[in-house]
Amino acid sequence: MPDVETPRWARAGATDLTASLDLPDEEIVVRVRDGQKALFEILMRRHNVRVYRAARAVLRDDAEAEDVMQQAYVNAYTHLDQFDGRAAFATWLTRIAVHEAFARARRRQRVELRPDAELEEPSMTSPSVSPEQHAITRELGGMLEDAIMRLPDGSREVFVLREVQGLNTSDTAGSLGISEDAVKTRLSRAKAMLRRSLAERAGIVTPTVFAFQDPRCDRVVAAVLSQIE
């Protein structure tokens, strides 16, 4: 079960709802449909990182990715009755976010690279690393994020979902609406491009990039809850 931050209602002492934290997505969906709207917060916090990374991979912009997240959650909540369980809820949700991100990209004709976009620094928690190593790792993390953002459309989204988010080939294909063969081809192409630039020299773990910080998590959750309540 994915890690999920304790929701605000649980922190406030709503122990009757806290018991729902360990429920699978599909059971929570059923309960939300039955009127327990507060449980939708569990789904948001459980999948915030995945949805954020998918949206940012398409848009290459933090603020726009956050906007897309909010709209994707609202869309998912509004059409929750359309979730039929044929795919995992996380895949269904990610596909909604990807579609929303592509729609926004088309509307704004965002087809050119944004080299000036601010990239978040990777988090580092190892106490054994020296300040100098911290600085080097931060710089390399920024270089890796920049290199990923410079991948061509199609390959970039696949690489983020497969290598950064850690989805398998099937879930990635379902999230992006492409075939598994296309996922494999695009991932191979992306890795070759990164290998030529800096991936092998960076020496950092890709899951540390595109970190989804707690303030953004709280902001997105609060914005969505204000709309669906």
How far apart (Å, rounded) are the C-alpha atoms in residues 9 and 38?
8
Which of helix, strand or coil describes residue 51? helix
Token look-up 């999920």 returns 4
**Predicted local distance difference test score (pLDDT) of residue 121:** 32
How far apart (Å, rounded) are the C-alpha atoms in residues 49 and 211?
8
Which of helix, strand or coil describes residue 128? coil
In residues, how long is the chain?
A: 229
Does domain 131-208 match CATH 1.10.10.10? yes
| Domain residue spans of the chain | 18-113+212-228, 131-208
Q: Which one, of 166, 20, 182, lies nearest residue 94 by Cα?
A: 166
| pLDDT averaged per 10 residues, the chain (length 229) | 49 57 92 93 94 89 92 95 91 92 76 37 39 52 75 88 88 90 92 72 55 78 85
- Which stretch of DSSP H or E encloses residue 140? helix 131-149
**Predicted local distance difference test score (pLDDT) of residue 90:** 93
How far apart (Å, rounded) are the C-alpha atoms in residues 150 and 194?
9
**Predicted local distance difference test score (pLDDT) of residue 112:** 42
Q: For helices 180-197 and 169-176, what crossing angle results, to 10°?
A: 100
Does domain 18-113+212-228 match CATH 2.10.77.10? no
CB atoms within 10 A of CB 141: 24
**Predicted local distance difference test score (pLDDT) of residue 129:** 46
Q: Which long-range contacts (CB under 8 A, 24 or more apart) does 67-70 make?
A: 67/104, 68/97, 68/100, 68/101, 68/104, 69/97, 69/220, 70/220, 70/223, 70/224, 70/227
